[in-house]
Amino acid sequence: MNILVLNGSPAGKNSITLQTTEYLQACGLMESCRILDVGQRIKAMEKDFREAGELLVQADLILFVYPVYTFLVPSQLHRFIELIKEKNIDLSGKYAAQITTSKHFYDMTVHRFIEDNCHDLGLKYIGGLSADMDDLLHEKGQQEARDFFSFVLWNMDHGTYKHNWIRESTKERHKATVQGINTMTRKGTAAVVYDDDPDSPDTYLQAMLERFRNRTSLNCQMINLREFPFAGGCLGCFHCAVDGTCVYKDGFDTYLRENINSADAVIYAFRIQDHSMGSRFKMYDDRQFCNGHRTVTMGKPVGYLVDGILSEEENLRTVIEARAEVGGNFLAGIACDEDAPDQAIDQLADTIEYAVNHNYQQPKNFYGVGGLKIFRDLIWQMQGLMKEDHRFYKEHGFYDFPQKKKGMIVAMYVVSSLMNNKTLKKKIPVNMTEGMLMPYKAVIEKTRKNKG
Ligand SMILES: Cc1cc2nc3c(=O)[nH]c(=O)nc-3n(C[C@H](O)[C@H](O)[C@H](O)COP(=O)(O)O)c2cc1C
């Protein structure tokens, strides 16, 4: 397979982000790849794009590898994308994915930028890994990188990629088709939480649910929120803050913990109402406050079956993504009854199954990292009242206040005082990036040795 890495970092070979691709090669997951130093060679490419154009055309997978720069990509990579379009390079049908490093500040906007541009270019966009710049130095980050690339390869094998909400949409609804009942052996569980009025059953939603159930090999527990005897919406009384029990005696808190949160995956299904998931579904969401700010389902994949024209509901798509990110759930996909629901539902069912079987997880993006920082500070301040949350945050190491990284703070003072030394300063610009790469190179070297 021809993999072309577009290295968008102005640091070139000294890019931290690029180390992830070297690491993947050291693991043996990425056999070989061509690297195009877009970040450093953009001026030459503006004069002569032939080599870049040829490499792009030869590639099966185009991997955008770059640092997040001020909400978007570095200007050099931005210019490179302009050049591909100006030169009319035909990339349609090729696969694309992206890897970034950053501190997660607005990483989701830049990932969307690349995704949208991939769609402009007719690329089959699979997804992205948004790593913290330190992630590769830890086993968890290394595992996430390996899992991400295996997921990319699985998608290519499977012929699956992300839906293009903007350009592929015809805004036409089609009813999913349902084949005969599948009698495969089932393993694992999915809680399928849906909102369907029994008095006026929504046939579109029902068809989506049926098709999903039929496709997946997970045991589906169907939970119609209309049938749950909710006593009412969350009262915001904070009664649950101390011990996690709700003032309502309708049994929802126990039901949620024992039947929904215990499943291997959760599927949410609803019809779009008033640009949202409808008030019944919202009641279900609010009542989850009995778990406070605890990410009790973290690590489990989620998916959505949405009845309606989701391409017109950008805010709702943001809510869906942010909800998964803050909860620590891998969003395996959103299938809606727009355009080609059968394909979308099958893809969602297969991806959910892949995620359950491989325990697939991704690092959080800005929504998740930023959201949890706000909650971290809130729970720390309210620990006297929000006792269950406080216990959970302590147990899971959520109190990662910056002042705890004392070694890092001291190291920065040392670097700063060295930089104030005029003789040393002349040498530092070169040595700084190389010095910063040393721990990454050590990880790659160790991986290569272990592999060999
Ligand atoms: C000009 C500039 C802008 C940056 N903007 C962001 C940003 O918006 N969000 C963020 O999380 N990190 C930001 N960063 C941090 C980089 O993304 C981070 O240091 C990255 O790991 C560098 O990777 P590289 O060595 O591959 O270039 C910025 C860094 C620079 C120099």
The pLDDT, as a whole number, for residue 31 is 85
Q: In what order do the strands lie in the sheet with 189-194?
A: 219-224, 189-194, 265-271, 302-307, 331-336
pLDDT of residue 210: 94
Does residue 241 share a domain with residue 109? no
> Same structural domain for residues 353 and 216?
yes
Angle, helices 139-158 vs 341-358, to 10°: value is 140
Q: What is the C-alpha to C-alpha distance for residues 402 and 333, in angstroms, rounded to an integer?
A: 34
Residues 243-263: what's their mean pLDDT?
Answer: 94
pLDDT at position 428 is 64
Among protein residues, the one with the nearest Cα to ligand 1's atom 30 is: 69
Q: How far is CA 409 from the centre of its chain?
A: 30
Put residue 30 in one of left, alpha, beta given phi > 0 → left and psi -120 to 50 → alpha: beta
User: Is 445 part of any domain?
Assistant: yes
Q: Do residues 101 and 205 share a domain?
A: no
One domain for residues 412 and 265:
no
Domain boundary among 136, 158, 180: 158
Q: Which domain holds residue 88?
A: 3-158
| Count: domains in the chain | 3
Q: Has residue 260 been placed in a domain? A: yes
Q: Are residues 209 and 348 in the same domain?
A: yes
For residue 384, is it within any domain? no
Distance 69 CA to ligand 1 centre (A): 5
pLDDT tens digits, one per residue of 330-375: 999 999 988 788 999 999 999 999 999 999 999 999 999 999 999 9
Least confident of 152-166, 398-412, 423-437: 423-437
Whole-angstrom Cα Rg for the chain: 24
CA of 58 to the centre of ligand 1 (A): 30
Three-state helix/strand/coil letters over the chain = CCEEEEECCCCHHHCCCHHHHHHHHHHCCCCCCEEECHHHHHHHHHHCCHHHHHHHHHCCEEEEEEECECCECCHHHHHHHHHHHHCCCCCCCCEEEEEEEECCCCHHHHHHHHHHHHHHCCCEEEEEEEEECCHHHCHHHHHHHHHHHHHHHHHHHHCCCCCCCCCCCCCCECCCCCCCCCCCCCCCEEEEEECCCCCCCCHHHHHHHHHHHHHCCCEEEEEEHHHCCCCCCCCCCCCHHHHCCCCCCCCHHHHHHHHHCCCCEEEEEEECECCEECHHHHHHHHHHHHHCCCCCCCCCCEEEEEECCHHHCHHHHHHHHHHHHHHCCCEEEEEECECCHHHHHHHHHHHHHHHHHHCCCCCCCHHHHHHHHHHHHHHHHCCCCCHHHHHHHHHCCCCCCHHHCHHHHHHHHHHHHHHCCHHHHHHHHHHHHHHHHHHHHHHHHHHHHHHC
- 105 with 250, same domain: the answer is no
Residue 164 covered by a domain: no
Bridge-based pairing state of the strands 331-336 and 61-67:
unpaired
Measured distance CA(385)–CA(398) in Å, rounded: 18
Interval 204-231 mean pLDDT: 95
The pTM score is 0.92
Name the closest-CA residue to atom 28, ligand 1: 69
Domain boundary among 324, 349, 368: 368
What is the tens place of the pLDDT at every residue in 264-290? 999 999 999 999 999 999 999 999 999
Q: Are residues 128 and 245 in the same domain?
A: no
- pLDDT per residue as tens digits for the range 72-123: 999 999 999 999 999 999 999 999 999 999 999 999 999 999 999 999 999 9
> Please, what's the b/e burial string for 326-359 (b: 16 or more CB within 10 A of its CB; e: otherwise)?
bbbbbbbbbbbbbbbbbebbbbbbbbbbbbbeee
Which residues lie below 8 Å from residue 94, measured CB to CB, with a gap of 6+? 59, 60, 61, 62, 123, 124
99/58 same-domain check: yes
Which is it for strands 189-194 and 3-7: parallel, antiparallel or unpaired? unpaired
Residue-wise pLDDT tens digits, 122-177: 999 999 999 999 999 999 999 999 999 999 999 999 999 998 776 667 778 888 99
Contact 209, 269 (CB under 8 A): yes
Same domain, 125 and 240: no
| Residue type for position 129 | L
Residue 408 pLDDT: 83
Q: For residue 427, what pLDDT is reported?
A: 65
Strands 34-36 and 95-102: unpaired
Q: Which atom of ligand 1 is nearest to the CA of 72?
A: 8
Provide residues with CB under 6 Å of ligand 1. 9, 11, 15-17, 67-71, 101-107, 133
Report d(CA 298, CA 75) in Å as an integer.
Answer: 35
Q: Is the pLDDT of residue 24 over 80?
A: yes
Distance in angstroms (rounded) separating the CA atoms of residues 344 and 336: 7
169 phi, psi to nearest 5 deg? -80, 130
Nearest-CA residue for ligand 1 atom 1 is 69
What is the pLDDT confidence band of residue 431, given thresholds at 50, 70 and 90? low
Instruction: List beta partners, residue 336.
Output: 306
pLDDT higher at 196 or 329: 329
Q: Whose CA is nearest to atom 31 of ligand 1?
A: 69
> How remote is the CA of residue 279 from the centroid of ligand 1, in Å?
40
Identify whether 373 is part of a domain: no
How far apart are alpha carbons 346 and 352 in whole angstroms? 10
Indicate which CATH number applies to the domain containing 48.
3.40.50.360
**Nearest ligand 1 atom to alpha carbon 10:** 27
Q: Is residue 393, in this structure, part of any structural domain at all?
A: no
Residue 180 lies in a domain: no
Do 414 and 328 share a structural domain? Answer: no
Does pLDDT of 423 surpass 80?
no
> Looking at the domain assignment, is residue 182 inside a domain?
no
Last residue of a domain, one of 140, 158, 176: 158
Write out the two tokens for 305.
């079956």
Tell me, yes or no, whether 308 and 423 share the same domain: no
Question: Are 144 and 254 in the same domain?
Answer: no
The whole-number pLDDT of residue 221 equals 96
Distance 377 CA to ligand 1 centre (A): 25
Supply the mean pLDDT for the chain. 93
